[in-house]
Amino acid sequence: MLVGHYAPALLLRRAAPDAPLWALFLAVQALDLGFFALAAVGLESARVVPGGRPVFEVTHGVYTHSLPAAVALGLVCAVVGAFARRPGVGAALGAAVTSHWLADLVVHVPDLPLGFTQEPAVGLGLWRLPVVPWALELALLAGAWLLLRPRLAAAARWPGDAAVAVLVLVQLLHEHVVPTPSSTLALGASAYGLYLGAAALAWRVDRAARQP
Ligand SMILES: [Zn+2]
C-alpha cells in the first residue's frame, strides 16, 4: 500500500489531537523506512517486477514486515510515550506503526511473515487485481481526511487539502505515469522521498493548526 497508509494517520490524529501529524505520517511508514534501510545493506530483500501484478514482493522481511515486529515496534512507541508522560501520543504513534502491517495485509501477496521466519507468510493479495487496490487507497485517504478536516483549526484545513491532493496525485502518477524503479534500492530512494515529503506537508498542517 502507498498513500492508503496515511488514512490511519489522519484518523489517529482525530482521536489524539496532541499527536503531531508529521510524526504520525512517519510512524505509518516506519516499517517501510526500516525495510528499505535494511534492504540497502542486504539484511532484508524484495523482488521488484516493473509492470507486474504485484510490482513488489517481500522475499525477506522478518525484521520489519513480520507480525511480531509490527506489534513489538508499536508497543515500544506506546511504552516510550508512557515513560515520557505522553501516553495518548505514544499510543497513537504505536497504533500508527502497527497499522502499516494491517494495511499491507490487504494488498500484499502472501509475503508478510507471521513469525520469526519468512514462512509462513500472509497477504490477501489485492495487488493482483487491476484498479481495485489504488481505488481503495484513494477512498481510504479521502474518507479519513473528510473525517479529520472539520476537527482541525480553519487555518490548517487548506494546507491539509493541499497535502491530500499531493498524495492523490502521487498515487495516480505511480499507477499510470511514472514507471516503477526496477531495483529495490531505487524504489527505496523514491519511497524515502515520498515519505519525507509527505511528513513535511503534514508539518505545515501542524504549524497552521497551532496558530491562534
Ligand atoms: Zn510495507
Distance of CA 76 from the midpoint of ligand 1 (Å): 18
Q: How many domains does the chain have?
A: 1
Taking alpha carbons only, the member of 166, 158, 167 closest to residue 211 is 158
Name the residue range of residue 168's domain: 3-210
Distance of CA 155 from the midpoint of ligand 1 (Å): 32
User: What 3-state DSSP class applies to 146?
Assistant: helix
Span 161-182, average pLDDT:
91
Span 195-200, average pLDDT:
98
What does the pLDDT read at residue 102? 98
Distance of CA 190 from the midpoint of ligand 1 (Å): 14
Residue 171 burial (CB count, 10 A): 20
Span 87-104, average pLDDT:
98
Q: How many helices (H) and strands (E) does the chain have?
A: 9, 4
Distance of CA 161 from the midpoint of ligand 1 (Å): 25
Cis peptide, bond prior to residue 120, ω within 30 of zero: yes
Q: What is the pLDDT of residues 118-152, one digit of tens each?
A: 999 999 999 999 999 999 999 999 999 999 999 99
Distance of CA 146 from the midpoint of ligand 1 (Å): 25
What does the pLDDT read at residue 27? 98
Q: What is the rounded CA–CA span in Å between residue 101 and residue 95?
A: 10
Distance of CA 196 from the midpoint of ligand 1 (Å): 15
Span 56-77, average pLDDT:
97
Distance of CA 153 from the midpoint of ligand 1 (Å): 31
Distance of CA 126 from the midpoint of ligand 1 (Å): 14
What does the pLDDT read at residue 34? 98
User: What 3-state DSSP class applies to 120?
Assistant: coil
Distance of CA 58 from the midpoint of ligand 1 (Å): 9
Residue 116 burial (CB count, 10 A): 11
